Amino acid sequence: MSILIDNELCTGCGSCVESCPYGGIEIIDNRAVMIDKCNLCGACIEACPVEAITIEREIIEKKDLSEYRGIWVIAEHYKNEIHPVAFQLLGKGRELADLLEVGLTLIILGSDFDEELNSFAKYGADEIIYLKSPKLKNYYSDLYVQVLTELVQKNKPEIVLTGATPTGRDFAPRLAKRLNAGLTADCTGLDIDLYTRNLLQTRPTFGGNIMATIRTPNSRPQLATVRPGTFKASEYVKRKAKIRKIEYDFKEKDSVTKIVKVIHKHKEKVNLEDANIIIAGGRGVGSKENFKIIEKLAEVLGAELGGSRVAVELNWLSQDRQIGQTGKTVSPKLYIACGISGAIQHLVGMQNSEIIVAINKDPNASIFSVAHYGIVGDLHEILPTLIKEFMKTKIVD
Amino acid sequence: MGDKIQIFVCIKQVPGVQEVKIDPKTNTLIREGILSITNPLDKNALELALSLKEKHGAEVIALSMGPPQAEEVLREALAMGADQAYLLTDKVFAGADTLATSYTLSLAIKKILKDSKNKSKFLVFCGTHAIDGDTAQVGSMIAEELGIPQITYVQKFELKEDRIIVQRTFRKEEVVIIESKLPSLISVLKEINIPRYPTMLGIMKAYDKKKITYLDSKAINAKENKIGLKGSLTEVWKIFIPERKGEQIILEGTNEEIARKLWTNLKNDKII
């Protein structure tokens, strides 16, 4: 299994060298040559303008994957509340399930959800499977893996989705390993190739500089963890779901680890993920003092305040307000980016917003490429006018 | 090895991605001047192991899989104070996804344990994730391969004879204190400690006295269909630099005109 270069076709143009994230290809004597840093990722294949590069894959015997059907979403909870990422995944899951013409199932492992189950139907699931045990009030890696392995093996879903949270990212890899199933971490895009029924899982890699689309062509189920805030929950008023309850009688010794204590801290005041409007500032704001005008706009619009990594690093803003690859991922209805140049690490955290407004002095700033409305100019002059005009329209209304 | 606890630390060599930039003209990666480094969180894992060595006399074994030049990160680990270093390197390991990587690493751990006649007196430490791939999957998968408990996202760690007591962060407002036993696998967050720098003496030892053991697929007795690209169930179908084209409207005019246009548009879009 290797990358093959056709010396007849290769023109030595070097496109492949530029595309390689690992530095695994060089131009020697005007021809591309693979060196041992190659990780077989295949970026060069796409980049080659003359199709001189191919990857030699062994032909794997096509397995019959047709017994696997349906999409599952595994929920997690905290203080008896389902983490919203489960409902967001049901929103996307409904779309994928309709494409594949299969059912959508919500899986909950817990102890106190009997009464609420019916109310979850509105998020789009056809079926809710509730795995109940007093012990499952808390999260145990090994019990989750054990219970979910049995359930997957019995019911054979083709896709299993869960949140890319410290909980999801704890049990999903172990579950994947036990099932010998492919798992893609921290996806920010999901789609279906209808012909193969493959899940196309897109995720940022190399600190968000590159996007990779991953698929699991020869095995099922296909597992993926998805970053909270990537998709939106939908509500369907009249939907009903079939409810299945399975009770477990777990004892203390059934888990190899023991929870000594759970410490609850104060809940974060900042809730960017659920905000309808976010006003964010970046380097262009200039100083902590200057941030006040952004705060003022946020105040009149009833918006949350956010910022780029630079703004947080310069202490203009607290860490919990950082948006982007190393901060939060948000998708509000309105995102106003003030003095943010739009490094890709920032864009991956906000590009799913419904409407993006960019205000920047530099007309070439990359933030404009994702913006719906662009304003080229000095934010210190524009923001006060925006506030003034907004107050006027409010009075007219 | 007698009574000493063996601590395996999994280390990955990664490109210093914070410096990876895109050339806006050609829309390609600028690779010039990018150095390969030790994955930062793996240094925290190593620091934890070294602090236990100082306190309890453990043996610290650094382990990496990668091309021959990944030797550099193991030299650094030795210079920081690791006792042994193993590099899993073989052309057939290339293209591994997390399933194949964890299989390969766990076979090496099993081999080293067997050679030192150690059955259960060991720990495996990893960083929660690597900064290049950022999957955070290999740790849990190694624990599954070895059949030992895992505790991920750890910010505090304490060893009491054969028990370990750790703090795991689930979310900002919830920390759970968990008790487990030897053997266990731990993945650490950067809050757990501040990694030390190698000393001059350490660096000299790392190049002079200590050796790196190379292991290929035969040495660990790996099954051909479980390693490298062949042993991977996920495949990279497409790698691309995100296209950022939208249909944007640039609002022009005086500041007042711009402001009015924006609010009218947003009202028409039913956003405000």
> Structure tokens of B116?
């030192």
Distance between CA atoms of residues A157 and A159, nearest Å:
6
Contacts of A390 in chain B (CB under 8 A): 259, 263
Q: Residues 210 to 269 of B: which have CB under 8 A from any A CB? A: 228-230, 232-242, 244-251, 255-256, 258-260, 262-263, 265-267, 269
- Would the CB atoms of A21 and B144 count as touching at under 8 Å? no
Sheet of B184-188, strand order: A258-264, B174-181, B163-171, B150-160, B184-188, B122-127, B6-10, B59-65, B84-88, B212-215
Distance between CA atoms of residues A104 and A128, nearest Å:
9
Residues in chain B: 272
Neighbours of B169 (CB within 10 A): 18
Distance between CA atoms of residues B259 and B256, nearest Å:
5
Residue A206: per-residue pLDDT: 75
- The beta-carbon contacts of A308-313 under 8 Å, at least 24 apart in sequence, are A308/A280, A308/A281, A308/A282, A308/A283, A308/A340, A308/A343, A308/A346, A309/A343, A309/A345, A309/A346, A310/A282, A310/A283, A311/A281, A311/A282, A311/A283, A311/A285
Is 3.30.420.10 the CATH number for B6-226?
no
Residue A339 CA, chain-centre distance (Å), reads 25
Residue B17: per-residue pLDDT: 57
Are the C-beta atoms of B227 and B104 separated by less than 8 Å?
A: yes
- Mean pLDDT per block of 10 residues along chain A (397 residues) reads 85 87 86 83 83 74 83 94 95 96 97 93 96 94 96 97 96 97 95 95 81 92 94 86 94 88 76 89 94 92 93 90 88 94 88 91 90 93 93 68
Q: Residues 77 to 116 of B: which have CB under 8 A from any A CB? A: 91, 94-95, 97-99, 102
* Nearest neighbour of B263 by CB, restricted to A23, A166, A389: A389
CATH of A71-250, one of 3.40.640.10, 3.40.50.620, 3.40.50.720, 3.30.230.10: 3.40.50.620
Chain A, chain B: beta-carbon pairs less than 8 Å apart: 291
Residues in Cβ contact with A21 at an 8 Å cutoff, skipping those fewer than 6 apart: A41, A43, A205, A206, A210, B15, B20, B29, B31, B132, B239
Distance between CA atoms of residues A45 and A53, nearest Å:
5
Helix pair angle (B98-115, B138-146), 10° resolution: 50
> Which of B28, B141, B234, B269 has the highest number of chain A CBs within 10 A, making it the mutation to test binding with A?
B234
> Structure tokens of A33?
């040559």
Residue A45: per-residue pLDDT: 84
Which residue is closest to B183 within chain A, CA to CA?
A256
* Nearest neighbour of A173 by CB, restricted to B98, B248, B265: B98
For CATH 3.40.50.620, list the domain ranges present in chain A: 71-250
- Would the CB atoms of B246 and A370 count as touching at under 8 Å? yes
Q: Please confirm whether the linkage preceding A221 is cis (ω < 30° from 0).
A: yes
Are the C-beta atoms of A261 and A219 separated by less than 8 Å?
A: no
Measure B139 CA to nearest chain A CA, in Å.
Answer: 8
How does pLDDT run across B78-124, given as a tens digit for each residue? 999 999 999 999 999 988 999 999 999 999 999 999 999 998 999 99
Are the C-beta atoms of A174 and B147 separated by less than 8 Å?
A: no
> Structure tokens of A213?
């689309």
- pLDDT at B212 > cutoff 50: yes
**pTM of this structure:** 0.81
Task: Give the helix ranges, DSSP H, for chain A.
Answer: 15-19, 43-47, 84-100, 141-155, 168-179, 291-301, 309-313, 344-350, 379-396
Residues in Cβ contact with A60 at an 8 Å cutoff, skipping those fewer than 6 apart: A218
> Which of A44, A206, A350 has the highest number of chain B CBs within 10 A, making it the mutation to test binding with B?
A206
Distance between CA atoms of residues A53 and B21, nearest Å:
25
A2-56 belongs to which CATH class? alpha beta
Q: Quick check: helix, strand or coil at residue A53?
A: strand
Distance between CA atoms of residues A193 and A99, nearest Å:
10
Distance between CA atoms of residues A347 and A374, nearest Å:
15
ipTM for the whole complex: 0.89
Distance between CA atoms of residues A25 and A36, nearest Å:
8
How does pLDDT run across B227-266, given as a tens digit for each residue? 998 899 998 888 887 665 556 788 999 999 999 999 998 8
H helix count then E strand count, chain A:
9, 22
Residue B243: per-residue pLDDT: 63
C-alpha dihedral, A312 to A206 to A372 to B260, nearest 10°: 10
Are the C-beta atoms of A227 and A92 separated by less than 8 Å?
A: no
* Nearest neighbour of B29 by CB, restricted to A19, A184, A260: A19
Residue A365 CA, chain-centre distance (Å), reads 25
Residue B1: per-residue pLDDT: 44
> Structure tokens of A323?
């948006």
* Nearest neighbour of A385 by CB, restricted to B170, B229, B259: B259
Which amino acid type is present at position A89? L
H helix count then E strand count, chain B:
6, 15
What CATH architecture is A273-396? 3-Layer(aba) Sandwich (3.40)
Ordered by start, the domain boundaries in chain B are 6-226
Distance between CA atoms of residues B193 and B43, nearest Å:
10
Distance between CA atoms of residues A262 and B177, nearest Å:
6
Q: Which of B99, B31, B30, B104 is nearest to B66 (CA)?
A: B104
Contacts of A376 in chain B (CB under 8 A): 250
Burial of A215 (0-12, 13-18, 19+ CB in 10 A): buried
Contacts of B232 in chain A (CB under 8 A): 182
Are the C-beta atoms of B232 and A42 separated by less than 8 Å?
A: no
Q: pLDDT over 90 for what percent of chain B?
A: 68
For CATH 3.30.70.20, list the domain ranges present in chain A: 2-56
Distance between CA atoms of residues B89 and B67, nearest Å:
6
Neighbours of A253 (CB within 10 A): 7
DSSP-derived letter for residue B49 is: H
In the block, which residue shows the tokens 């190049």? B207
In the block, which residue shows the tokens 């999260």? A139
Are the C-beta atoms of A289 and A314 separated by less than 8 Å?
A: no
Residue A396: per-residue pLDDT: 54
Specify which residues B233 forms β-bridges with.
none
DSSP-derived letter for residue A323 is: B
